[in-house]
Amino acid sequence: MDLRVKRTTNNIKAAFFELRKKKSIDKISVKELSEVAMINKATFYLHYKDIYDLSESLEEELIQKIISEIRVKGFLRTRSDIFMLNDTLSKAMLSYRDEIRTLYSGFESNRFIDHLEDRLKEYIFSTFSQFKNNPEDNIILTFLIQGSYHAHIRNNSYGDELLTKTTSALFAKLVD
């Protein structure tokens, strides 16, 4: 990728995050974002259709980062490996906490975990196709993924280590 294009897209993304921390997505205009990114509106439109397209692109990038961290670990070869998913998922959610909060603030907060759950299930089902048609396994995966996320979001004042330790212990009990 051309260095100028990369710099421009990075400026656009940084400007979006800066504005998104202050206001809801429906209050951000392309004009305002372009001013903060120090580009003209036409340049923005070379890269994205609108603000929502940019937001969806950033959301997809975030989901991909989390999924790739799980893939890099190389587990999920056996059913018992699934409990290890929580540790990696917890660490990923903690390391991307600011991005998650910024992109999915307010009324959009549950959209992130729903999207992540769908993508994680796709990945898990590609390894364990038998899970896909098993209602109990689907319920357990939903509970593990959604529960871990909400435990982290609602209890972050207890500290990252305790959150990860506690959710991992629950994960292991459920998988057994």
CATH number, residue 7: 1.10.10
Together in a domain, 84 and 150: yes
33 compared with 164, residue with greater pLDDT? 33
CB-hemisphere CA count at 13 Å for 49?
5
The domain total for the chain is 2
Average pLDDT of the chain, as a whole number = 86
58 confidence band (pLDDT: 50, 70, 90): very high
Task: Say whether pLDDT at 9 is over 70.
Answer: yes
Residue 36 has a pLDDT of 97
Could you tell me the two tokens for 125? Answer: 């089902």
170 compared with 42, residue with greater pLDDT? 42
Which residue carries 């991909």 as its tokens? 64
104 compared with 15, residue with greater pLDDT? 15
Q: What is the pLDDT of residues 84-130, one digit of tens each?
A: 777 788 888 888 888 988 888 766 778 888 999 999 899 888 877 88
Q: At what angle do helices 30-37 and 3-20 cross, to 10 degrees?
A: 120
Together in a domain, 125 and 158: yes
Q: Domain span at residue 17?
A: 3-48
Residue 175 has a pLDDT of 64
43 compared with 4, residue with greater pLDDT? 43
Task: Say whether pLDDT at 160 is over 90.
Answer: no
Together in a domain, 42 and 63: no
Q: What is the pLDDT of residues 131-153, one digit of tens each?
A: 788 898 888 889 888 888 888 88
Could you tell me the two tokens for 126? Answer: 């590609």
Task: Say whether pLDDT at 8 is over 90.
Answer: yes
Together in a domain, 17 and 87: no
- The dihedral region occupied by 18, where left means phi > 0, alpha psi between -120 and 50, and beta the remainder, is alpha
